[in-house]
């Protein structure tokens, strides 16, 4: 969190973090709530209310500024509805699935890996209880906490060998196939923990929502599970827009959908969510980045693959430059984006001490990825993947080009033409037709496409023997003769290199980031645990300044209007709270909404034109003339002044105790 | 369009508008393009490329500023996926449908009303051809032009009676039911114009895309066809957020979906689109608006219902205040929003001369609406509905409350408690039970709920006769006696009024507005029809300033960096075009993208620090020091200075002919 230097120290950790309190606040103040609540709700669907929508809009606006505008990315807005052939080609129809099992009696559907994991963990916990040694679960598996279905444990002691076996299974839980999960379910007698009923064999469940496009019912479509395919399909248009120059990036902010088998953990695992995705297209032979120097000294906390494969989670803190140099991070472009992600998340208020970059294990990566680093943020649900930075290599462009015939390639002029020499076979077409009739063309194509070394062998044989036997892949046999074919060494000149770009993809889950930010921002006043505060940075806070008239007395109205108007002209979003609640109550309510500054108008405003300026976290108040205070608060909101600076510009207000 | 006063007059109408040229420009510069183009495309789905995405983002940002921020609306972001019961209640499952027919041989699906309309119009046109009197279709029906499927006409003369009959059918084409359309198809021997095949009976086709939520396949869902239901379901939370005060408005910008039978006309009729919707909740007894004074003098061009019912399309220009006073527009709130819509559309660049407000006919309104005015914009497709302003009355809140039991109501304290007197029936429950056993309760409920006048009759009868016969709606008969029931006049005090708010809904189709804006902005240079220009106002232009170094000479680089940095700090979005194309070519390319200003850096910049500032429409250029020019262009972009003002601040550059 970008801390303001304050004149009064604030203890934000007086009370331990309490998720239930935060959730109560978020629900009460309508940051978000279950969608269709009055209809009983639908798991995994949430609506954002006014403060949540504003916070989300501000997170997105800052994302657009930080990435699209500063990096001159090409923005896209492509459709959510996608015809089936696109996802058949991308592999999603076949592979974007989880394994599920059904309770054989009541038909309840469970995710197979979650079921095995939940039951074995409960048994291990029961064993610890039986041994009288129950402690909090270790932090090693914390990244998976979010996935766990809570299964009640029973105190039953297990054999040491069984414990080792369970732990081994749990360590690999992400790697099992459906049939293997089925074997585990049977081997360990795992039933539905809620009912005790058996479950049937795991079946694949595709996570894409499907629908039908148009009135005929014959055109199957899906709701996109990511925005990425919309970028790739437009690659040629984007390259053209960019004057055929590489590298460049496209960016898109939009809704995606995944039909999760068991949504859980609030905003963390939902069925409809807003993503922000970047697809950065690079020459596979040159993954350097022209602005890498600006990023190379930024220090990040890495959790590389080899550390994890030793069963450890120790973080390595080093500069991006060093990480790229040591090949921990594969290339400059990937490193540059990791640094930019770090800067972005820190700027909107994510605590850098609760942010790490974890490399995917080989078997954990999406089917298209050649390398992947997740920005993970620590929350009360454990470490949560909030940004995935994958090197998708040339996978997507290659498969779509192959399927459609569209040339999804880039061409660069070679600095010098490349001259190569090789053997070239030339047939006498007249003799070819006369000798082999229709079969001749197949022979000709086969021979002209042979590798250079084979052509050299044939050339020698023809020179020596005058003939050479050739067998086509389909078994047809021919005899080549010197009359039929001439093989000569020729020079070939190549001045253009054509290639399929590689794609490096930073992909942001906006809802997860928003939730993590709310956790990192939340605390309660030391003197009153009920007084929750969201210390959102001004850049994302829904309202920047609260304008508070002391009372409803109409003499205060002109100053309220004047301040509101001046703030509006300065581009600072303010709200007036002229309700009849006490000033203290009104500030408390706005501390809950994360409003960083407050301007109080009282009768001193009428008599001598002064107002007070309150800072949310410290509750410190300063006093000044209206123009001074609006100027200071504008600079505070824009980030060109911090609170300590403000305290040097304006005197402290000593009536603070009276009204707060 | 917000015109800048220029020192040189520009003839924007030298060439007649040519849609094909505009579409070629939009496609070439990737404003938007058919989605899944490399897969052959899907009708009614479009992707926005970089300039289109930027333009859309700017249109939305200005909408958010103009409506949400300036009017202190409560923003929402609700889910697209919606469970079926919500749309069953709202009436969409039953009624959000069009009638379609199938070609009996090839299975092609056509919209029934479009088919009848297209064929009859073609026959009327053929008649005119046969009579040698073909003229352009009159403008009366121009609002429907967008719907027409073009049917080729054949010169066949019709009887005068047939002509009258056809014209009568066409005038009512929006009013027929499916079976009636079926009768028309048979009566007039209408076949599929493309194949000549017969079509079968019209069947209803629901325009919502459906899907299944969750893994069981049992939970049916739809993609929302409007964002409105998401507002209504959250009404109680919103009211609470607004401290239980009315009126207030919620606002949402988001994607909606309609499975159109036959998408057409580019962005006008698509299957996936971005909407911006406002739901303004008012007390049905008081539809005044506190800021109406700010709107009342704004003049709009109205097309009221009664003018249309006389078969006319003459527009009535009058102030909003007068329209409300004369009850042409029903109430202040509706009038206020019409004026705000006008201001918004004008500000982003819609030509006010091509904007009208048309009232819906009674039979044309959505099933929930009690009144509706569309902001229609004239384009080459005719008058297009771009903003609908409907009074949805209490319909939605009432049906959802009834279905779910959630009290979607507002309560206001009455200024004075209302004291009413009425007869009240009180039963002796002991005697009631003894006399009628189980039937007694039905009798009691029936009698206590009788209207006051009936109770007075019973009271008199009991006084006179001691008994009174009562028949329940189900036919059961009872005799009331003075022992059983006492009827007395009592005073009732009511201090709270509880009511279901009415909802006034301005609903914006962002894609339609964007397309209309592109048409209104497009023209070609008088001297060269190939040089298309988009005169987008700076507030929505994708790029505000183009920074153009004269050549790639590295001496120019520092000035390019300095200007870019200064513009960035001033919050002005600029792009550098340092390609090798000529300056003139680079400006032409950016005229096509609607970039309003350009700053040229040449060797004079290096020697004496001057740059030139070019205005897109006039191609006028001014000259000044870097700081002067960046200051002037910042004010131009912010709208606090116009081009004439800029011309007074900076001298004209007379080298203009040399480089443009």
Return the pLDDT at B659. 41
Shortest Cα–Cα distance, B172 to chain A (Å): 25
B156 — pLDDT class (breaks 50, 70, 90): confident
A656 — pLDDT class (breaks 50, 70, 90): very low
Q: Compare CB distances from B76 to A49, A255, A575 and report the shortest one's residue.
A: A49
Shortest Cα–Cα distance, B215 to chain A (Å): 6
Say whether residue A257 is in contact with chain B using an 8 A CB cutoff. Answer: yes
Is there a contact between A572 and A595 (Cβ–Cβ < 8 Å)?
no
Return the pLDDT at A172. 79
- Chain A interface disruption, residue of B26, B36, B218, B245, most A CBs within 10 A: B36
Return the pLDDT at B484. 92
* Side-by-side strand order, sheet with A97-102: A109-111, A97-102, A203-206
Q: Compare CB distances from B255 to A80, A238, A271 and report the shortest one's residue.
A: A80
- Mean pLDDT over B262-281 rounds to 94
Model confidence at B214: pLDDT above 80: yes
pLDDT tens digits along B224-247: 999 999 999 999 999 999 989 999
Model confidence at A136: pLDDT above 70: no
Return the pLDDT at A475. 87
Model confidence at B342: pLDDT above 60: yes
A 265-324 residues with CB below 8 A of B? 271-272
- Mean pLDDT over A614-626 rounds to 96
B645 — pLDDT class (breaks 50, 70, 90): very high
Residue-by-residue DSSP string for A226-278: SSHHHHHHTHHHHHHHTTT-SSEEEEEEEEEE---SS-BTGGGB-SEEEEEEE
- Tokens for A252? 């898109």
Q: Compare CB distances from A36 to B72, B83, B252 and report the shortest one's residue.
A: B83
- Mean pLDDT over A634-659 rounds to 85
- Mean pLDDT over B305-316 rounds to 89
- Tokens for B650? 């900076």
pLDDT tens digits along A298-320: 999 999 999 988 878 899 999 99
Nearest CA in chain B to A51: B75
Among A439, A444, A443, CA closest to A471 = A443
- Chain A interface disruption, residue of B43, B47, B510, most A CBs within 10 A: B47
SS3 category, A176: coil
Is there a contact between B414 and B520 (Cβ–Cβ < 8 Å)?
no
More confident residue, B80 or A153: B80
Residue-by-residue DSSP string for A183-223: HHHHHTT---TTT---B---EEEE-S-EEE-STTS--EEEE
B328 — pLDDT class (breaks 50, 70, 90): very high
Alpha helices (H) along B160-248: 160-171, 178-187, 228-233, 235-241
pLDDT tens digits along B440-464: 888 998 999 899 999 999 999 999 9
Hey, are the CB atoms on A213 and B42 less than 8 Å from each other? yes
Is there a contact between A347 and A62 (Cβ–Cβ < 8 Å)?
yes
pLDDT tens digits along B45-102: 999 999 999 999 999 999 999 999 889 999 999 999 999 999 999 999 998 999 999 9
Hey, are the CB atoms on B234 and A54 less than 8 Å from each other? no
Alpha helices (H) along B353-421: 395-404
Return the pLDDT at B490. 92
Q: Compare CB distances from A83 to B36, B210, B400 and report the shortest one's residue.
A: B36
Nearest CA in chain A to B238: A49
What is the CB neighbour count within 10 angstroms for residue B213?
Answer: 24
Sequence length of chain B is: 660
Average pLDDT of every residue of chain B: 91
Nearest CA in chain A to B89: A39
Strands A46-48 and A32-34, how do they pair? antiparallel
How many Cβ pairs closer than 8 A exist between chain A and B? 204
- Mean pLDDT over B394-403 rounds to 95
- Mean pLDDT over A179-206 rounds to 94
Hey, are the CB atoms on A47 and B79 less than 8 Å from each other? yes
Model confidence at A378: pLDDT above 70: yes
Which residues in chain A are closer than 8 Å to B30, comparing Cβ atoms?
234, 237-238, 240-241
Return the pLDDT at A262. 86
Model confidence at B589: pLDDT above 80: yes
Return the pLDDT at A366. 73
Choose the most confident range, by mean pLDDT, from A246-255, A435-444, B459-468: A246-255
Say whether residue A361 is in contact with chain B using an 8 A CB cutoff. Answer: no
Burial call B357-378: b when 16+ CB within 10 Å, e when fewer: bbbbeeeebbebbebbbbbbbb
% of residues, chain A, pLDDT over 70: 95
A141 — pLDDT class (breaks 50, 70, 90): very low
Return the pLDDT at A133. 63
pTM value is: 0.86
pLDDT tens digits along A41-59: 999 999 999 999 999 999 9
- Predicted complex ipTM: 0.85
- Mean pLDDT over A417-424 rounds to 90
DSSP class of B283: B
Is there a contact between A597 and A637 (Cβ–Cβ < 8 Å)?
yes
pLDDT tens digits along B354-368: 999 999 988 777 767
Return the pLDDT at A150. 64
Model confidence at A547: pLDDT above 50: yes
Is there a contact between B517 and B59 (Cβ–Cβ < 8 Å)?
yes
% of residues, chain B, pLDDT over 70: 95
Return the pLDDT at A552. 86
A153 — pLDDT class (breaks 50, 70, 90): confident
CA distances from B389 to B338, B385, B386 (A): 7, 10, 10
Q: How far apart are CA B3 and CA B298, in angstroms?
A: 19
Return the pLDDT at B8. 64
Which residues in chain B are closer than 8 Å to A237, comparing Cβ atoms?
30, 33, 49
Say whether residue A212 is in contact with chain B using an 8 A CB cutoff. Answer: yes
Among B400, B376, B396, CA closest to B386 = B376
Strands B299-303 and B522-525, how do they pair? unpaired
Is there a contact between B539 and B347 (Cβ–Cβ < 8 Å)?
yes
Shortest Cα–Cα distance, B214 to chain A (Å): 6
- Mean pLDDT over B160-177 rounds to 87
- Mean pLDDT over B171-178 rounds to 83
Q: How far apart are CA B371 and CA B391, in angstroms?
A: 5
Which residues in chain A are closer than 8 Å to B209, comparing Cβ atoms?
81, 211-213
Burial call A254-288: b when 16+ CB within 10 Å, e when fewer: bbbbbbbbbbbbbbbbbbbbbbbbbbbbbeeeebe
């Amino acid at each position: 969190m970008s801390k303001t230097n304050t004149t009064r120290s604030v203890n934000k950790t007086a009370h331990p973090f309490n998720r239930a309190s935060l959730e109560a606040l978020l629900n009460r103040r309508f940051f978000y709530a279950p969608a269709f609540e009055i209809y009983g709700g639908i798991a995994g669907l949430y609506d954002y209310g006014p403060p949540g929508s504003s916070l989300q809009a501000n997170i997105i606006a800052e994302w657009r500024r930080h990435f699209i505008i500063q990096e001159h990315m090409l923005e896209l807005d492509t459709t959510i509805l996608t015809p089936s052939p696109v996802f058949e080609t991308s592999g999603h129809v076949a592979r974007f699935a989880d394994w599920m099992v059904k309770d054989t009696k009541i038909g309840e559907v469970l995710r197979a890996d979650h079921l095995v994991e939940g039951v074995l963990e409960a048994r291990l916990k029961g064993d610890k209880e039986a041994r009288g040694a129950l402690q909090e679960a270790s932090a090693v598996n914390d990244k998976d906490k979010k996935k766990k279905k809570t299964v009640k444990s029973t105190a039953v002691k297990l054999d040491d060998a069984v414990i080792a076996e369970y732990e081994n299974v749990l360590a690999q839980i992400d790697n099992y196939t459906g049939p293997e999960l089925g074997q585990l379910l049977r081997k360990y007698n795992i039933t539905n923990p809620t009912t005790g009923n058996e479950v049937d064999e795991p079946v694949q469940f595709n996570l894409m929502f499907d629908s039908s496009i148009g009135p005929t019912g014959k055109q199957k479509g899906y709701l996109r599970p990511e925005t990425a395919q919309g970028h790739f399909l437009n690659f040629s248009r984007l390259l053209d827009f960019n004057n055929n120059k590489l590298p460049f990036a496209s960016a898109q902010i939009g809704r995606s959908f995944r039909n999760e088998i068991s949504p859980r953990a609030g905003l963390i695992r939902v069925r409809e969510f807003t993503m922000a995705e970047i697809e950065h297209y690079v020459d596979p032979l040159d993954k350097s980045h022209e602005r890498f120097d600006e990023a190379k000294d930024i220090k990040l906390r890495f959790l590389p693959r080899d550390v994890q494969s030793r069963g450890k989670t120790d973080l390595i803190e080093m500069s991006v430059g060093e990480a790229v140099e040591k090949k921990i991070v594969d290339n400059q472009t990937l490193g540059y984006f990791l640094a930019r992600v770090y800067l972005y998340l820190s700027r909107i208020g994510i605590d850098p001490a609760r942010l790490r970059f974890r490399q995917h294990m080989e078997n954990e990566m999406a089917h298209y990825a050649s390398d992947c680093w997740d920005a993970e943020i620590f929350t009360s649900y454990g470490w949560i993947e909030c940004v995935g930075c994958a090197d998708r290599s040339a996978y997507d462009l290659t498969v779509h080009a192959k399927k459609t015939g569209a040339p999804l390639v880039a061409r660069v002029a070679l600095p010098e033409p490349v001259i190569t020499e090789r053997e070239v076979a030339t047939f006498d077409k007249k003799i070819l037709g006369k000798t082999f009739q229709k079969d001749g063309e197949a022979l000709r194509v086969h021979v002209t496409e042979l590798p250079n070394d084979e052509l050299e062998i044939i050339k020698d044989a023809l020179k020596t023997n005058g003939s050479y036997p050739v067998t086509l892949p389909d078994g047809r046999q021919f005899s080549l003769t010197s009359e039929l074919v001439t093989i000569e060494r020729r020079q070939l000149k190549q001045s253009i290199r054509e290639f399929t770009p590689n794609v490096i993809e930073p992909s942001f889950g906006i809802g997860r980031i928003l939730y993590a930010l709310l956790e990192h921002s939340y605390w309660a006043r030391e003197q009153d645990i009920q007084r929750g505060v969201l210390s959102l940075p001004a850049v994302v806070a829904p309202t920047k300044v609260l304008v508070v008239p002391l009372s409803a007395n109409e003499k205060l109205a002109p100053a309220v209007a004047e301040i509101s108007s001046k703030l509006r002209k300065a581009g600072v979003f303010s709200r007036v709270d002229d309700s009849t609640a006490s000033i203290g109550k009104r500030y408390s309510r706005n501390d809950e909404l994360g409003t960083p500054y407050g301007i109080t108008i009282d009768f001193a405003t009428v008599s001598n034109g002064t107002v007070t300026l309150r800072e949310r976290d410290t509750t410190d108040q300063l006093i000044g003339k209206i123009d001074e205070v609006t100027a200071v608060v504008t600079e505070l909101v824009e980030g060109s002044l911090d609170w300590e600076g403000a305290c040097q510009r304006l005197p402290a207000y000593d009536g603070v105790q009276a009204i707060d």
